[in-house]
Amino acid sequence: MKLLVLRGDGIGPEIVSAALVATEALNRKLDLGLTYEDADFGLASIEKNGDAVPQETLDKARASDGIICGPHDSVAYPPPHDQVVTPAGRLRKAFDLYANIRPARIRPGVPAHVDKMDLVVCRENTEGFYADRSMFAGNGEFMPTPDMALSIRKITREGSARIAETAFQLARQRRCKVTVMHKGNVLTLTDGLFRETAFDVATRYPDVTVDDVLADALFALAVRRPQDFDVILTTNLYGDFLSDLTAELAGGLGVGGSINAGTDVCAAQAAHGSAPDIMGQNVANPAAMILSVAMLLDWLGGRHERADLKEAALCLDAALDAQLADAAGRTRDLGGSLATDAFAEALAERIAQT
């Protein structure tokens, strides 16, 4: 099974390398048969190829079983690269990665802002208010006059149904509860369609409890009673905001794993950015990237009916929990002193010994 490695910008190469050290320890321990191939991506690719995501990279991604994708710093890209779809967006469009899955869970030893939380934000990833996701051609934001800016939001029954299916299937693997987050009381057509479609899908999952909460209320409840939620199903913009909030409540984006998944392709990509201010210093926390790879392995295990990959995902997650529970085993952002590479080596040793 081949994984394509896109190292990205800023701290991307450092945290991706750390994730590969841990993944390779699993590969050896469980004889998973994983192989890796690098491809050009991001600023280095612009300098080399004149394109952040050249066609060769897309071709390699299409021929791979999964993608490990480091963060990118598209805000620093020179013209005209700063005016086009971001590198992650290029992957999303090329492979229709419609499901952005972001768990938030309290982990032993990680300073958190709440006492109990174990939830997953299941975010629709191809529609909504985001300007690059609303149109077949052109942009969803435009200015009819210099003093007026408009934005078009797209919600479709098909897009809503497939992310709802993902959420209900995920809930069956957890605590069998889905909460639909929307603002249908004011956005009656768009959020109304999303809610209606979600409840239509719910009829096919009688074993899963479903309710719905207005978006503003859910933000408050996520702070006050996050333990009440299991899988939160929502649209693009709400999910983007909420998943950052829940990750921060659980200890920060540094422990926020994330995948972007479609029907046939899945990319592991930590929710945080490229942190150019600490690039090259070997101090970045690779936990979120490692958790994202664990999620990718779990997705691949389900996709290919391979119990060993699902076991590998559980093993990696448990080893990371044990690593973070040890004060001496953390990076400096979590109160420890380990460098990025030292964290990865310690985790790999822990995996080998369990």
Task: List the pLDDT tens digit at each of the 354 positions of the chain.
Answer: 999 999 999 999 999 999 999 999 999 999 999 999 999 999 999 999 999 999 999 999 999 999 999 999 878 898 888 878 889 999 999 999 999 999 999 998 899 999 999 999 999 999 998 878 777 788 888 999 999 999 999 999 999 999 999 999 999 999 999 999 999 999 999 999 999 999 999 999 999 999 999 999 999 999 999 999 999 999 999 999 999 999 999 999 999 999 999 999 999 999 899 999 999 999 999 999 999 999 999 999 999 999 999 999 999 999 999 999 988 889 999 989 999 999 999 999 999 988
Provide the annotated active-site residues: 130, 183, 216, 240, 244
Superfamily covering domain 113-249: Isopropylmalate Dehydrogenase (3.40.718.10)
CA angle 18, 23, 29 (to 5 degrees): 135
Q: How far apart are CA 50 and CA 58, in angstroms?
A: 15
Query: Residue type for 175, please?
Result: R
**Strand runs labelled E in the chain:** 2-6, 35-38, 66-69, 99-105, 118-124, 141-145, 148-151, 177-182, 209-214, 231-234, 259-261, 266-268
Q: Helical H runs in 173-265?
A: 190-202, 215-224, 236-249
Question: Does residue 268 contact residue 280 with C-beta atoms inside 8 Å?
Answer: no
Residue ranges of domains in the chain:
1-95+285-354, 113-249
